[in-house]
Amino acid sequence: TLRTLFPYTTLFRSIDSGIDYYHEDLKDNIWNNNKEIPDNGIDDDKNGYVDDRNGWNFAYDNNNSYDDNSHGTHVSGTIAASSNGIGVVGVAPTVKIMALKVANSRGFLYTSDVINAIQYGVSNGVKLFNCSFGSKDFSQTEYDVIKSSNALFMCSAGNGDINQIGLDNDGLVKNYPASFDLPNIISVSSIDKNGYLSTFSNYGVVSVDIAAPGGSIYSTVPGGYGYKSGTSMATPHVTGVAALVLSEDMNLSPIEVKNRILKSTHKLPKLKNKIVTGAIVDAFGAMNLTRSEERRVGKECSQ
Ligand code: CA
């Protein structure tokens, strides 16, 4: 199945168009496969991928996951750009990103490559996946691999119809993987700067969980910085918060991380009856909830 990155225009790991891993704001946060000796032509860790130093390029079947599109680098900056006094700062500025390049330079990707990328990530211990892509075509294999993964998937709700007018994902037209009815998926819609659902953003009071800023987002692009809009840009804000929560307590299950996020939101009147929570993601709230749960558990253990 051919699908698209949402246009307009990825631990804690990004299935996307790759990453500019030389970028001044990202280079310190790129995942490194320390079981692989770089560029020796040997599959040292015997995982089926030769010299997979930072991830893999599933689109072109090689070890160079550099971003030839800019979408993946933009998403990555929102999750994990360094707090180094230059450029921008990601939601979780010290987490590592694995570049699972699946989209080609034009932003198209195949479901079979997505499935291989998920399996690669899972086998290397990835617990969070950012999925800023989608299509209306259901894949049973993709459903199964996500379901059995023990990871949490932040998935874009989608950017509406051909005129970029948001659609109801609870209706006949779905947007996968966001529309898979699975407990380890968070489906993310976009708000604009006024707290309204973005005109392009899909929604769904049953199937779309939460919203985040997705209009004119400033982040990293290859060699610099730029603005992009879309549910693709909203989703990595939630992935960043998931990374913060998980960093606080690495023993949390995917469902527990999801529950922390969905129980600590910031309600917005304009989102009521549009999405499940009627709210946007709240990093401070999610961290407070996680820390108060830890204190409660700590007390129980000491009694
Ligand atoms: Ca290898």
Per-residue pLDDT tens digits for 160-206 = 999 999 999 999 989 999 999 999 999 999 999 999 999 999 999 99
For residues 128-157, average pLDDT: 96
Among candidate residues 65, 156, 219, 232, the one labeled active-site is: 232
Reported as a single tens digit per residue, the pLDDT across 20-62 is 999 999 999 999 999 999 999 999 999 999 999 989 999 999 9
Assigned token pair, 199? 């005109």
Q: What is the pLDDT of residue 302?
A: 60
Judge whether 113 counts as a catalytic residue. Answer: no
- 3-state SS class at 245: helix
C-beta of residue 114 within 8 angstroms of C-beta of residue 142: yes
Q: CA 103, CA 231: separation in Å to the nearest integer? A: 17
Q: CA 192, CA 216: separation in Å to the nearest integer? A: 8
Q: What are phi and psi of 266, to 5 degrees?
A: -115, 110
Going by C-beta distance under 8 Å and a sequence separation of 6 or more, which residues neighbour residue 38?
51, 53
Among candidate residues 23, 71, 74, 237, the one labeled active-site is: 71
Reported as a single tens digit per residue, the pLDDT across 239-283 is 999 999 999 999 999 999 999 999 999 999 999 999 999 999 999
- Considering the entire predicted model, what is its pTM? 0.94
Q: Residue 47 C-alpha to ligand 1 middle, in angstroms?
A: 5
Judge whether 16 counts as a catalytic residue. Answer: yes
Among candidate residues 14, 16, 51, 209, the one labeled active-site is: 16
Going by C-beta distance under 8 Å and a sequence separation of 6 or more, which residues neighbour residue 209?
186, 187, 188, 262, 275, 276, 277
Q: Residue 279 C-alpha to ligand 1 middle, in angstroms?
A: 42
Q: Residue 13 C-alpha to ligand 1 middle, in angstroms?
A: 18
C-beta of residue 20 within 8 angstroms of C-beta of residue 221: yes
Q: What is the pLDDT of residue 260?
A: 97
Q: What is the pLDDT of residue 11?
A: 44
Q: Residue 4 C-alpha to ligand 1 middle, in angstroms?
A: 28
Going by C-beta distance under 8 Å and a sequence separation of 6 or more, which residues neighbour residue 252?
245, 246, 260, 290
Please choose, from the candidates 141, 134, 142, the residue with its C-alpha nearest in 3D space to the C-alpha of residue 103. 134
Q: Residue 48 C-alpha to ligand 1 middle, in angstroms?
A: 6
Assigned token pair, 22? 């030389």
Judge whether 23 counts as a catalytic residue. Answer: no
pLDDT at position 14 over 80: no
Q: What is the pLDDT of residue 1?
A: 43
Q: Residue 34 C-alpha to ligand 1 middle, in angstroms?
A: 10
Q: Residue 52 C-alpha to ligand 1 middle, in angstroms?
A: 5
